[in-house]
Chains A and B, each alone.
Chain A
Amino acid sequence: MIKTEKVLHLNSSKGRKVRVVREHYVREQVPCGSSLCQADCHNDGKVLSGDVTHYVVPDVGVVRDFLEILEFRELQGIVLTQTAYQTVQHTRGRRQYNRLRALLKDPRHDCVLFANEFQQYCYCPRDKGESQDKWHTRNVYNAAVWYYNHLAGLQPVVMITEDSDAISEFSALNSGVYVISTKEYLLSFWPDLQAAYDLYNSIAQTLQERESEGVEKVYTEHLPAEVLEAGIKSGRHIQGILSVNKHRAQLEAFVRYEGSVSKNTELNSDVLINGAKHRNRAVHGDVVVIDLLPRNEWKGRTMALTEGQGEEQPLEDTQSQPMPSGRVVGILQRNWRDYVATFPPLEAVQSQSRNSQKILVIPWDYRIPKIRISTQQAEALQNQRVIVRLDSWESTSVYPTGHCVRVLGKAGELETEIQTILVENCIHVPTFSEAQLREMPVNTEENPWQMDTSEISSRRDLRETHLVFSIDPKGCEDVDDTLSVRTLPGGKRLELGVHIADVTYFVREGSLTDLEARSRATSCYLADRRYDMLPAVLSADLCSLLGGVDRYAMSVLWELDAETLDVCTVWYGRTLIRSSYQLHYELAQSLLNGEEIEVPELSQLKGSQRDQKQAELLQALETLTRVARHLRAQRDKGGALELEGVEVRAQLDEEKNITALVPKQPLEVHETVAECMIYANHWVARKIQENFPHQALLRHHPPPKQEFFNHLIGSAKARGFSIDTRSNRALADSLEQAVDPQDPLVNKLMRMMATQAMSNALYFSTGACPEEQYYHYGLALDRYTHFTSPIRRYADVLVHRLLMAAIQLEEKGSLSKPFASNKELEELLLYQIFHCSKPQSTELFQCLYFRDKDSHTDERCVADAVIYAVRTNGFLAFVPQYGLKGAVYLKNREGQVVSVDGDGRCEWKAGILQRYPDRISTCTSTGTHIFDLFDHVTVRISVEPSRCHADSLCLELISNKPHCAVQPESQPAGRGRSELVQEVVRWAEEASLQAEEERGRKSKLSREEKQFRQSRTPNLYVLLQEISELALLDLSVCQIRNTEEQTCTASS
């Protein structure tokens, strides 16, 4: 090592310039990271492949401004210099730096970091008077030359730079090292990569524009980071995440505190940020720092309902009680993602501004402000949807500046809309690469997959001893869980078994498939296609616990006391199973109900043999039901909540048109299976938490904030019920009592309100959370995790690995390799959380259904609705028949209000509205009418199309009487209250299983369609469904199990 010195000029804390001397050690041996290395460099980790035509060394400016181009996976052999890397760190924010780091870590990108400044022969000290940029470029060039020589000239090296002086200075110096501009590079080396070239132009243009910016300030400047940090510590500023009100995106935004805010007790609710000035360039999702405004400037939230888009006018008279208001003084972290935006039509473009090069595009998400884009292709792109990335938002600009990354296609087309939905939900799904597929085992007819004999001997063989069966929706392909139950010899004990697909056997940690699965996080189900987390050979075949074939499994086996059903012993481990029956829910339920029904697996057998087998199966199902009821009762005692979500299923006909929207019919067997899965998850959570107290992956559900219950308590009071929200137990009890015998919907609505008050369930690492926070509020369990769906959730794969490590730890006392530390786990989980929480898209379903119907003639567009909240100019209503919620206006744009005549029909007339806490009245010349909470009314449903956003539904009041054709809520007679409640629970559970529907539907696709993942009928596109881990529901849902059910009504 040789010591040199670097002189830096830094700003001191007092703002003075300070001369700092830092040591700088250089050495001869710096790993080059290329597989062509001739000098035996110590290359560990990622290595550049040798079979590319050249290596490319981007200059500092290229990495800083054009990082997105380097992110193209097609570009290979990228050598990033430390000089460039550090410049990005110093000059660009943490976000870009982290992206660069992620790029370097991602094994799918062929790029390495070369620490050129620590290489003795690469580093050149800065000359006197040399500008920093020049010095950096010289360093990068030196590194490129060294790299070329180091590889003994085996690979030509191309340096790309944006600095034209450097090109002329260096290009002729060394043969084998070419210095060219980025543009030239893309054109000559990657002529096929049109996308990269377009992106280059787009960024370059944006950069140019930025230089010629105006100076007029629109917003106040943000405070510097140190001031913010000090302010937060001292309590002067408040830190939180900005969330914009979707319905009043330009006016209202709220900041929710992060962590506990105990210092200021009067601030127990969110803080309102009113107007764009106060929001000060923050975008939905950013972590912001706010100042509270003086009390006399506090505003209330607007209580009026607003109609769709359009510029909003602040209506002073419609505000609620003033609530704490604030303004944004700084932004700690930008959480910008890729946004889908639509180019305006040409007429609008021309009138838009003095400079037609700059165009305001409208994002698909209402909450995001319009984005200013510089482009010359405005004409070509009109009415197109594009992916836009935000670059900056200067205080001089009303709108943020961005650039166009990729064109998705024309708005309104099938492919475009599906891509839009994917991008907006941050789902990135390329096809599996060949390298990944090569890792997969083969299972074809000529070459069937066989089990390993050594594996067979190391696993517990349950094939002969246990009756294993699965219960899933019809047509399910990826069966991740199976069940078994039997009475142990002696009859004193029962053995309950949950057997989960052993995905981790096939997906080794760190393999390409593993990494791909990690970045996908979950399987993703769309109406006409599905994006698997794992390649199909695993998800639909080798991992899937299909009937009648031998499969590897991870099992949890409990020995229960036959009488009291208490747990005696638990066994965890790898097993070998053969599922005897692949049942579906309806079949299982019919068996339980004692109906005569044919079990397909037994259709070959004859007479008594068949009866015997069927009796065996029935016996198992009955025992299982008994156990599940017991488990449920135990959790209920602990205070498990029964929540309510809205869920409908779509019935489809042969052409995959929606023929009807029907609320789901829950069966008891759903709950039975779900309960077993909750139980397995719980016991696995206990096991891994005991073995890894600092690094186990669990899932907790924090108790909700009390103020979120205000709406529920207020509404309940209107009907004379009191709701106790002090604990989950109290809440569950009081919800159970709040039943209106005349109207079962009241209870359902209140449960829905309770659901809305819930916070989200989250993954966490036990090392990052004190033990008392492990509690799962919704399920009333002290520890909980996700274990039962490894085929379609990555978190479960992690838990499987943890469980295996825990078993190994207990058997051998040590681990063969250390498991991920707490910190790594946290990082992984953050990613998983981010990717798992996706917005609900049931609306899309509903829109599709109503789109083709004429709302004035079609009877199906008229439905019964229940009022569940009152606003100043209308009320919010719930339509149980279709499971949709929406606003109903009592006052239109002209200021007219709804008047009700004698037989209940409604008309628009001049009049006034009067709003009370629990009712709203209209007063017109014909008389006064009062709408109470929980009143039934009749509404007409129609679709309001939108060009830039998703279509939405609107409700129109027709009559204040319940709709005559009201289908009474399907209440099978003779059911007790508890069953009724159970049913309700199941509803909630299933609500999060939208995925199922997709699965069911998907199974109907023809073979060809499946293969190409293409749908032939384009009218389905809006039917996006996702496995919404929509966390509120999720709590009760342990069960994202492959309960795909139904929707197959049409196919059956």
Chain B
Amino acid sequence: MAGLELLSDQGYRLDGRKASELRKVQARTSVFAQADGSAYLEQGNTKALAVVYGPHETRGSRSKSLHDRAVINCQYSMATFSTAERKRRPHGDRKSSEMSLHLKQTFEAAVLTELYPRSQIDIYVKILQADGGNYSACVNAATLALVDAGIPMRDYVCACTAGFVEDTPLADLCHAEESGGGTSLALALLPRSGNIALLQMDARLHQDHLDALIEAAMTACKGLSKVLDGVVRQHLEEVSVLIRD
């Protein structure tokens, strides 16, 4: 069997998208009443649930708290049913810890933590179905949850992946494209300022192509930020209608 052709001669990807097209993004905020903020986001078939608690007093030992800003605590996990074969360990494995750390770094760059000294913000993200771009789905869902919780941020954090096939950058990789072993670059962007919150790439890539790839990922992030903004505004509309009644 010939290997998968990620980009056909006519410019179609495996799932029928063109190179720069994103997967369908759908999201809702305030899905749980218990938490301070929550959001559910689907990016194609990748489904993520994010919950935010806080800001509140630091739990556990006092020594962890910082005197000038809030501590952000992230926890990432994947549902056992999220992949094609049932996962043994939903969280706490090496990959999950790494992802938690990445999320923490991303949001430390975006949240105005200095407003809440000696306190803590908890972000819990769970992947319900994994189909590529788990990190970006988590970031996007967590952003919505933070907005829902009313925690002040510099900007939305939008994240998207991009890959590189046959001299063409592909935006928003799905699982089949990611697992091929090619380059995959994950980018978290603060779209209005254009600042990069996190940039991560695993495979090798020729230096000449890096700019094109980052450019493609940035465009994708900006596109996403519009969608997220739309979701937030729609939610506000719904809520304000309720309040007026």
Contact = CB atoms under 8 A, between A and B. Distances in A.
B16 A27 contact: yes
B21 A1 contact: yes
A465 B189 CA distance: 65
Contacts of B174: 22-23
A115 B10 CA distance: 8
Contacts of A115: 8, 10, 12, 16
Interface in B155-208: 167, 174, 176
B44 to A, nearest CB: 5
A21 interface: yes
A365 to B, nearest CB: 28
A22 B15 contact: yes
A444 interface: no
Contact of A21 (B1, B8, B45): B45
A487 interface: no
Given A90-B2, A97-B2, A3 B12 contact: no
Given A89-B5, A115-B12, A18 B176 contact: no
A339 to B, nearest CB: 24
- Of the candidates A12, A91, A115, the one having the most CB atoms from chain B within 10 angstroms of its own CB is A115
Contact of B176 (A1, A22, A101): A22
Interface in B35-72: 44-45
Interface in A83-107: 89-91, 93-94, 97, 101, 104-105
B23 interface: yes
- Of the candidates A16, A25, A26, A89, the one having the most CB atoms from chain B within 10 angstroms of its own CB is A25
A108 interface: no
B9 A24 contact: no
Given A22-B174, A23-B44, A25-B17, 19 more contacts: A1-B21, A3-B23, A3-B44, A5-B45, A12-B84, A19-B84, A22-B14, A22-B176, A23-B174, A25-B16, A89-B2, A89-B5, A90-B1, A91-B1, A93-B2, A115-B8, A115-B12, A117-B16, A821-B167
A26 B2 contact: no
Given A16-B85, A18-B84, A821-B167, A24 B16 contact: yes
12 contacts: A3-B24, A16-B85, A20-B84, A21-B45, A22-B15, A31-B10, A89-B1, A93-B2, A101-B9, A104-B9, A115-B16, A117-B16
**Top-8 shortest CB links A-B:** A25-B16, A118-B16, A94-B2, A18-B84, A3-B24, A23-B15, A97-B2, A89-B2
B16 A18 contact: no
Contacts of A5: 45
Interface of A is mostly: mixed
Nearest to B46: A23
Nearest to A113: B10
B16 A26 contact: yes
Contacts of B15: 22-25
Contacts of A104: 9
Given A23-B44, A24-B16, A115-B12, A18 B85 contact: yes
B209 to A, nearest CB: 12
Contacts of B8: 115
A822 to B, nearest CB: 10
Contacts of A89: 1-2, 5
Contacts of A93: 1-2
Contacts of A21: 45, 131
Contacts of B21: 1, 25
B146 to A, nearest CB: 27
A94 B3 CA distance: 8
A104 to B, nearest CB: 7
A1 B16 CA distance: 9
Contacts of A12: 84-85
A26 B21 CA distance: 12
A23 B12 contact: no
B128 to A, nearest CB: 13
B200 to A, nearest CB: 24
A632 B17 CA distance: 60
Given A18-B85, A113-B9, A115-B12, A23 B45 contact: yes
Contacts of B24: 1, 3, 23, 25
- Of the candidates A22, A26, A90, A104, the one having the most CB atoms from chain B within 10 angstroms of its own CB is A22
A5 B16 CA distance: 11
A226 to B, nearest CB: 11
Contacts of A1: 16-17, 21, 24
Nearest to B176: A22
A104 B14 CA distance: 19
A693 to B, nearest CB: 12
Contacts of B10: 31, 113, 115
Nearest to B15: A23
Contacts of A113: 9-10
B111 to A, nearest CB: 32
Contacts of A94: 2
Contacts of A27: 16
A471 B16 CA distance: 60
A5 B45 CA distance: 9
Interface string A5-44: 1000000100010111111111100010000000000000
Interface string B65-91: 000000000000000000011000000
Contacts of B84: 12, 18-20
Interface in A472-526: none
A26 B24 CA distance: 12
Contacts of B1: 89-91, 93
- Of the candidates A3, A18, A104, A115, the one having the most CB atoms from chain B within 10 angstroms of its own CB is A3
Interface string B96-108: 0000000000000
B153 to A, nearest CB: 30
Nearest to B21: A1
Contacts of A90: 1-2
A118 B12 contact: yes
Contacts of A3: 23-24, 44
A693 B222 CA distance: 36
A20 to B, nearest CB: 6
A105 B174 CA distance: 28
B226 to A, nearest CB: 16
Interface string B1-37: 1100100111010111100010110000000000000
Contacts of B176: 22
A827 to B, nearest CB: 12
Contacts of A16: 85
A842 B88 CA distance: 70
Nearest to B24: A3
A84 to B, nearest CB: 14
A115 B9 CA distance: 11
Nearest to B22: A1
Nearest to A12: B85
A24 B17 CA distance: 8
A101 B5 CA distance: 12
Nearest to A23: B15
A101 B8 CA distance: 10
A117 B16 CA distance: 8
Interface in A115-140: 115, 117-118
Interface in B126-163: 131
A821 B21 CA distance: 25
A23 B174 CA distance: 9
B69 to A, nearest CB: 41
Nearest to A93: B2
A1 B1 CA distance: 30
B167 to A, nearest CB: 7
Contacts of A31: 10
Nearest to A13: B85
A123 to B, nearest CB: 9
A464 B16 CA distance: 63
A21 B129 CA distance: 10
Contacts of A91: 1
A94 B4 CA distance: 11
Nearest to A118: B16
A91 B21 CA distance: 29
